[in-house]
């Protein structure tokens, strides 16, 4: 961090790889589907009676995919952006405090945070370029049935404005406003690293052991983590199973897009949630270790406190994908003969096993990571 000048470096921006990945996926999917929909609508006069059902199905699919995938990714990007800005401010509190003490106003400092919008620009631009490169192949796949007239893609430059420029500008403005709100802390508190956190009162049965009480408090005090961990696993269960199930109804391109988006969305959200959990509990874990609690206790009662949430997320994701796909097939393919859709138990158990292994590995990774930090370092960390 350079005082006054380029406060946020390119290196800081590149750390936001999660944002780049998510915005890239959102723009890639949206560009492909919207571009195709625009072109498809322009040849509506050429669609035969035989191809009308497929024409309607294609348009409907585009709307659903862009709405669901784009919407989910956009929301997650926004939350991730807030998280990165908060982490950046927390990690650079003293420097920001010095800037404020020297006389820089909140707005002049927060203007520099517009650079966070750059990661959105990089992601959306990469997504847009990838979509352009894939466009011919995508059209070939979508029109391969022979029921619709063959046509080549027209490139709609307005999509560059709507899907790249405008989101980048909006995210830059949001970054400035959010950092401005966060910087409203007195300069001295920032320099000293004083954080005024509101403690959430959690009522627990006094007969429970200290470790049980820690577990319940950890779980109840951050409702947002319950949502994010549940959401991450929901996306994993939903998109992976849906991708496999769609094999019979859509192209393999669609299937792979589902997998990639599912993995990126769940991985980014889960890592975000786990990092927040570690950040919140690092000092407590440090003090528990000082007093003689083993890391396995901290792992069981703190890191694993959201395990049930994760499995509920998995079940909900499975139910959601089943009904969504069932309804989509009934609506989109109402005039087309397609194989009946049934719940795939084998797929469910395989996905569940993969999820269980990944989840345990993730918890083990964070546990090992925390164990490697010297206790002294945890305790010297500003309160």
Partner 1 sequence: MIKVIDLHKSYGDKNNKVEVLRGIDLEIKDGDFTVILGPSGSGKSTLLNVISGLEKTDKGKVLYNDSDITKLNDKELTEFRKNNIGFIFQQYYLLQNLNVDKNVRMGADLISNKDYKDIIKAVGLENKLNKYPSELSGGEQQRVAIARALSKKSKVLFLDEPTGALDEETGRSILDYIVKLQKEEKFTIIMITHNENIAEMANTIVRINSGKVVDIKNNKNPKSAYEIGW
Q: Summarize as ranges the residues that interact with partner 1 (CB under 8 A).
A: 197, 199-202, 204, 206, 209-211, 213-214, 217-218, 221, 283-284, 287-295, 371, 374-376, 379, 383
Residue closer to partner 1 by CB (options 56, 221) is 221
- Whose Cβ is closer to partner 1: residue 112's or residue 299's? 299
Give the nearest distance from C-beta 18 to partner 1 in angstroms.
Answer: 27
Q: Which is nearer to partner 1, 214 or 265 (CB)?
A: 214
What CA–CA distances, in Å, run from 75 to 66, 99, 230, 310, 319?
A: 13, 32, 15, 20, 22
End-to-end alpha-carbon separation of the chain, Å? Answer: 22
> At closest approach, how far in Å is the CB of 304 from partner 1?
17
- 291/323 with CB nearer partner 1: 291
Q: Which of 2/198 has CB closer to partner 1?
A: 198
CA 274 vs CA 14, 157, 287, 301: distances in Å: 20, 39, 19, 14
Euclidean distance between CA atoms 20 and 122, whole angstroms: 6
Q: Tokens 């969305």 — which residue?
A: 265
Do the Cβ atoms of 354 and 255 come closer than 8 Å? no
CA distance 116 to 118: 5
**Angle at 368 (CA atoms; ends 13, 305), nearest 5 degrees:** 90
Helix 223-245 and helix 71-91, axial crossing angle in degrees, nearest 10 = 140
CB 245 within 8 A of CB 341: yes
- Report d(CA 258, CA 359) in Å as an integer: 20
Quote the DSSP letter at residue 157: T
- CA–CA distance, 293 with 183 (Å, rounded to integer): 37
CB of 86 to partner 1, least distance (A): 18
The CB-of-214 to partner 1 minimum distance in angstroms stands at 7
What angle, rounded to 10 degrees, do the helices at 307-332 and 52-65 form?
A: 160
Residue that is written with structure tokens 């079940």 in the block = 315
For every residue of 304-339, DSSP letters joined together read TTTHHHHHHHHHHHHHHHHHHHHHHHHHHTTTS--P
Name the residue nearer to partner 1 (CB basis): 216 or 324: 216
Q: How far is the CB of 4 from partner 1 (least distance, A)?
A: 29
| Cβ distance to partner 1 smaller for residue 206 or 337 | 206
Q: CB of 209: closest distance to partner 1 in angstroms?
A: 6
Task: Rank residues 63 and 376 by Cβ distance to partner 1 and give the closer one.
Answer: 376
Q: Residue 50 carries which DSSP code?
A: T
Q: How far is the CB of 90 from partner 1 (least distance, A)?
A: 15
Give 259 or 293: the residue with its C-beta nearer to partner 1.
Answer: 293
What DSSP state is assigned to residue 292?
Answer: T
- Find the shortest distance in angstroms from Cβ 354 to partner 1: 31
Least distance to partner 1 from the beta carbon of 299, Å? 13
């Amino acid at each position: 961090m350079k005082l006054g000048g380029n406060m946020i470096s390119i290196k800081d921006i590149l750390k936001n790889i999660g944002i780049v990945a998510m915005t890239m996926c959102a723009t890639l999917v949206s560009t492909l589907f919207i571009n195709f929909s625009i072109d498809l609508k322009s040849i509506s006069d050429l669609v035969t009676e035989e191809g009308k059902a497929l024409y309607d199905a294609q348009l409907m699919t585009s709307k659903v995919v862009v709405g669901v995938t784009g919407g989910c990714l956009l929301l997650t990007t926004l939350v991730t952006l807030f998280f990165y800005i908060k982490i950046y401010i927390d990690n650079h509190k003293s420097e920001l405090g010095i800037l404020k003490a020297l006389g820089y106003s909140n707005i002049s400092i927060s203007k520099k945070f517009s650079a966070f919008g750059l990661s959105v620009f990089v992601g959306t631009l990469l997504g847009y370029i990838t979509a352009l490169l894939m466009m011919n192949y995508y059209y070939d796949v979508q029109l391969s049935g022979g029921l619709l007239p063959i046509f080549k893609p027209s490139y709609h430059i307005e999509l560059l404005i709507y899907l790249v420029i405008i989101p980048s500008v909006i995210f830059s403005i949001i970054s400035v406003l959010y950092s401005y709100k966060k910087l409203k802390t007195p300069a001295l508190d920032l320099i000293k690293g004083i954080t005024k956190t509101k403690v959430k009162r959690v009522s627990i049965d006094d007969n429970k052991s200290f470790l049980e009480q820690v577990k319940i408090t950890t779980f109840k005090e951050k409702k947002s983590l319950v949502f994010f961990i549940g959401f991450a696993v929901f996306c994993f269960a939903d998109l992976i199973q849906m991708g496999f199930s769609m094999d019979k109804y859509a192209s393999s391109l669609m299937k792979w897009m589902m997998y990639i988006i599912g993995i990126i969305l769940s991985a980014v959200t889960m890592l975000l949630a786990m990092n927040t959990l570690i950040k919140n509990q690092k000092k407590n874990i440090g003090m528990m270790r000082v007093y003689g609690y083993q890391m396995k206790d901290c792992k069981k009662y703190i890191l694993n406190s959201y395990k049930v949430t994760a499995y509920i997320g998995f079940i909900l994701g499975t139910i959601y994908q089943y009904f969504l796909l069932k309804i989509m097939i009934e609506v989109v393919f109402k005039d087309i003969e397609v194989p009946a859709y049934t719940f795939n138990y084998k797929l469910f158990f395989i996905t569940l096993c993969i999820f269980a292994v990944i989840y345990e590995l993730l918890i083990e990774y964070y546990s090992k990571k925390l164990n490697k930090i010297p206790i002294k370092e945890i305790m010297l960390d500003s309160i």
